[in-house]
Amino acid sequence: MQPEGRITPWDAGLWSAEQAESLQPIVEAIDGRGATPAIQLAHAGRKASHKKPWDGGDFLEIGEGGWSIVGPSPIKYEESWGTPEELSVEDIDAVVADFASAARRSVDVGMRVIELHMAHGYLGCEFLSTLSNKRRDEYGGSLKNRARLTLRTVQAVRKAIPDSMPLFVRVSATEYVDGGWGIDECVELCRWLKDKALT
């Protein structure tokens, strides 16, 4: 949904009409065989800008074909990876809007199910976790604040797609680290997600 949200330069995207059109034959093939065309929309956040997994998956510097990565706070995912630039509130607004735009393109091309990837250390998960989110504004601190990006995205996407269209959100149940994201917070988030998906 944003170029800087890709894990590798070779990943598919959905930030333009041309990209959406390229999915049309795939949607038709899936539908024509009696299956349901579905799509997952994601932003890799600080886990972006890497080589292909089968080429080692190392972090790609800007001079090597990579790009500036972003996150809730300037904290590396791993020591050998890049330091993300902290997203401004305006940048966060753009992320939410771009998720909604990608969802509309998904509907237009014939997708019938959408999943938002907010797990596995991707951008939504980075905001949720106190390990990667050290912000002191309305997107950091309390669980409600850390969940704000995810909840706003769900609400924006829900408004951008038909009421009858299934909307899934992938979440991590736990980070398995003391002080990190855990089951109790995940359960509370899921309650809020249900509310936002219905409004």
pTM, 2 dp:
0.94
Report the distance separating Cα 21 and Cα 28, nearest Å.
Answer: 11
The predicted model gives 51-57 an average pLDDT of 95
* pLDDT tops 70 at residue 25: yes
Q: Which domain holds residue 46?
A: 3-197
- Sheet of 113-118: strand order equals 38-41, 113-118, 167-171
Question: Is pLDDT at 199 greater than 80 in this prediction?
Answer: no
In CATH, what number is assigned to the domain containing residue 158?
Answer: 3.20.20.70
Confidence class of residue 1 from pLDDT cuts 50, 70 and 90?
confident
Buried-state track 100-133, b at ≥16 Cβ within 10 A, e below 16: bbbbebbbebbbbebebbbbebbbbbbbbbebbb
Give catalytic status of residue 176 as yes or no.
no
pLDDT value of residue 197 = 64
pLDDT of amino acid 139: 98
Structure tokens at 15: 């930030």
**From 77, 122, 139, 176, active-site residue:** 122
Q: Give the model confidence (pLDDT) of 97-146 as tens digits.
A: 999 999 999 999 999 999 999 999 999 999 999 999 999 999 999 999 99
User: Using one digit for the tens of pLDDT, what is the confidence trace for 160-175?
Assistant: 999 999 999 999 999 9
**Are 190 and 171 in contact, with CB atoms under 8 Å apart?**
yes
Residue 30 clears pLDDT 90, i.e. is over it:
yes
pLDDT at 198: 63
Mean per-residue pLDDT over the chain, rounded: 95
DSSP strand pairing (70-71 vs 85-86) = parallel
Q: Quick one: DSSP state of residue 70? A: E
- Count of C-beta atoms within a 10 Å radius of residue 6: 20
Q: Is the pLDDT of residue 195 over 90?
A: no
- Can you tell me the mean pLDDT for 45-60? 96
Number of separate domains in the chain: 1
